[in-house]
Chain A
Amino acid sequence: MSIEARLPPPQYALRLKRVLGGKAGWNGIILQILFVAALAWFGYEIVANVRTNLAAQRITSGFGFLNNTAGFDVNQTLISYSGSDSYTRVLIVGILNTLLVSVIGIVLATILGLMIALGRLSPNGLLSRVAGTYVELIRNLPLLFQITFWYLAVLAALPGPRQSISVASTFYLNNRGFIVPRPVEEPGLMPFLIALGVAIVACIGLRYYARRELFVRGHAMRIWPYVLGLLIGLPVMSMLVFGAPVVFEVPVLKGFNFAGGSRIIPEFVALTLALSMYTASFIAEVVRGGILSVHKGQMEAGLSLGLSRGTVLRLIVVPQALRVILPPLTNQYLNLTKNSSLAVAIGYPDLVSVFAGTTMSQTGQAIEIIGITMGVYLALSLITSAIMSFYSWRLGKRLGA
């Protein structure tokens, strides 16, 4: 039982740190070079092996297929697309459809999540219980199950096109989707947009002026009546002078389905609903945690300065809470985007469905297609995370941190 025989553990840690390339000298650097070399060798082996194997099996490889004609159709495209376009176009169609569902999902999930968080924090017992139940129920059910639930149990139960539920013979709801009048451009559109632009610029100017008045002369102005007047008044005037900016093409039942009008497909609705409701339950908890993390003394201090509750929340509590909220919120946004690939289960034409699905089985070029798909998701995630980091950095600067 000699205590002296054992070296104190910190020395081991220190030595390990040096070998692995902490601050200390040559050992670390050599190890790092070796590590990079090993990585490079491993990567080279993979690429070389794949190339030999594909050549041996006579499987076509390379990205030439992207210029070939796709030859299949897609039922929701944000850009013009037909079967005679190339696989590159299919890729873009898929990316746009994924983006659409992600962006709308993120906006809805944020709004819903915020409302639920506030509901759960509210002193109203009933409201807070309802919000609590929502969170516990939705976040504990698998997402794929929720997507199929909305698609098969709710939307598929709607009547067929000939028995559509209609509102004023203009809006129709059936199992083919939600059909609304489509705006068609008229000569009055340009003046209308200009009027709207002028109004917006004027409002920004007004706000700038009001802030200067407040800071320089200490005179608080009420600008919202003017803002409202500008935003409504100018476009209305343009409409009176130049005529309507758009006319609406009303959908009519013709043959199997409605002709004219725009249609929101049920696959999109089911996916967006499920994604945003599911993510909202997580966002609600993130927001609740963030708000609870701000010491209640902050609120009390603000109130004692004579500020209103709303102002204290807006200027003192929320900015501090946001610093806690933003990092996990970013994760939720990333999750939502990635989860949108479950679209394939219900036939929504997202990236995975049209590109990593259909295109892959038409061309059989799994390695290239999976590579591109991974690249796209990686890029989307990095962009989202960069935007959120930027916002977080600006917030930090404003708070002087």
Chain B
Amino acid sequence: MKRVTLALTLALAPVLASVGAQAETLKTVKDRGMVACGVSQGLPGFSSPDDKGNWTGLDVDVCRAIAAAIFNDPTKVKFVPLSAKDRFTALQSGEIDVLSRNTTWTLSRDTSLGANFAGVTYYDGQGFMVKKALKVNSALELNSASVCVQTGTTTEQNLADYFKANKMKYEVIAFAGQDETIKAYESGRCDVFTTDVSGLYAERLKLANPADHVVLPEVISKEPLGPMVRHGDDQWFDIVKWTLFGLVTAEELGVTQANVDEMAKSDKPEFKRAFGTDGNLGEQLGLTKDWFSRIVKAVGNYGEMYDRNVGAGSKLQIARGLNQLWNKGGLQYAPPIR
């Protein structure tokens, strides 16, 4: 009954909380001195605590960037680990200011949850992982397999669609937590583990012998992952949105954590606009003029963030792929800062 109680508390929170303050998330955050940021309960590369309790990952860096933009201090974040099924209620009820938790942008989530997606931090797709010993080479060979999946995700529905479309039977075993899901897969309760491909690589690291497991080539869905904010506070929505755009723009302009101070002195007009040496774009956002350099100083540009957490500089070693910049063959594209 514990989970019901939790859900109930979350459900009743909007009843009790004064939602009049909804439109002033920035003020709430400043008064609190922290950004309350919903993250996953532990997904290496995206959000997971290390042995000292420090959170790291791509989703975590988004939160840190927001904190840096507001407080000029990337540590002013309160991380709230959430399961897939509790995450939206936590956002709706005001327990968190932003949900940065590998959440897929879908139409129904954008419309019915009272929330807005601020952008895409990671272009992903759903895939399958099996044991090498099964000698399966394609997801189309999975007829009659047992599949472990985490509940409350788009994954569960994609899975149903895919097996139905390919006229294959399967047995689904759904768990509330990612850890229980991967444990059941490892113990042999199911043949297949499915989630977003990035998640497969991340979870594989947790297995006793990662080399015994293989990720199948099929990617069966589009999973654009990004942070969410509550509906009805456009200023806060803008801040989160432009924090993401700032990270991508920084990579595009070649601004890195190391050279940011030097670049700030540049005479080029687009640099001057971004760094606030010309105009007051940062103040229009409700932040300060130097918001852009604050962000980059704190977490680096998008490319640095990617490499450090999921790319070449990490254990996950996921190629940039779709997440490369638009001018290098990828999909990451930020509207101009002007």
Contacts and interface: CB of A to CB of B under 8 A. Distances in A.
A187 interface: no
Interface string B13-27: 011000100100000
Interface of B: 1, 3-4, 7-8, 10-11, 14-15, 19, 22, 84-89, 92, 109, 111-114, 134, 142-146, 148, 151-153, 156-157, 159-161, 164, 170-176, 180, 183-184, 187-189, 191, 230-232
A83 B159 CA distance: 10
B144 A176 contact: no
A56 B187 contact: no
Interface string A173-205: 001100000000000000000000000000000
Contacts of B230: 57
Contact of B187 (A156, A360, A373): A156
A370 interface: yes
B4 A59 contact: no
A56 B146 CA distance: 43
Contacts of B113: 59-60, 364
A339 B3 CA distance: 12
Given A50-B15, A152-B183, A56 B232 contact: yes
5 contacts: A53-B15, A57-B92, A60-B114, A255-B143, A361-B84
A53 to B, nearest CB: 5
Interface hub of A74, A256, A259 (most chain B Cβ within 10 A): A256
A254 interface: yes
B1 A83 contact: no
Interface string A354-394: 10111011111111001001100000000000000000000
Nearest to B83: A361
A175 B166 CA distance: 27
Interface stretch (A98-106, A220-228, A239-247, A340-348): A340-348
A54 interface: yes
A160 B157 CA distance: 27
Nearest to B192: A256
Interface in A256-311: 256-257, 259, 266-267
Given A257-B171, A347-B175, A341 B3 contact: yes
Contact of A353 (B1, B88, B176, B184): B176
A72 interface: yes
A105 B104 CA distance: 39
Contacts of B176: 344-345, 353, 357
Contact of A364 (B112, B134, B146): B112
B19 A366 contact: no
A345 B177 CA distance: 8
Interface of A: 46, 49-50, 52-54, 56-60, 71-75, 83, 152, 156-157, 160, 175-176, 254-257, 259, 266-267, 338-339, 341-342, 344-347, 349, 352-354, 356-358, 360-367, 370, 373-374
Given A58-B114, A345-B176, A358 B152 contact: yes
B92 A366 contact: yes
Contacts of A266: 189
A351 B125 CA distance: 30
Nearest to A339: B1
A98 to B, nearest CB: 12
A121 B188 CA distance: 43
A53 B14 contact: yes
A347 B174 contact: yes
Contacts of B160: 71-73, 83
Shortest 9 CB-CB contacts between residues of A and residues of B = A361-B152, A59-B114, A57-B114, A83-B160, A156-B187, A60-B112, A361-B85, A366-B11, A72-B156
A362 B144 CA distance: 25
B109 A256 contact: no
Nearest to B23: A56
Contacts of A267: 173
Given A57-B114, A347-B184, A73 B161 contact: no
Contacts of A349: 174
Nearest to B89: A366
Contacts of B143: 255-256
Given A72-B157, A358-B85, A358-B156, A370 B19 contact: no
Contacts of B144: 254-257, 259
A18 B113 CA distance: 51
A76 to B, nearest CB: 9
Nearest to B152: A361
Contact of B188 (A46, A60, A175, A338): A175
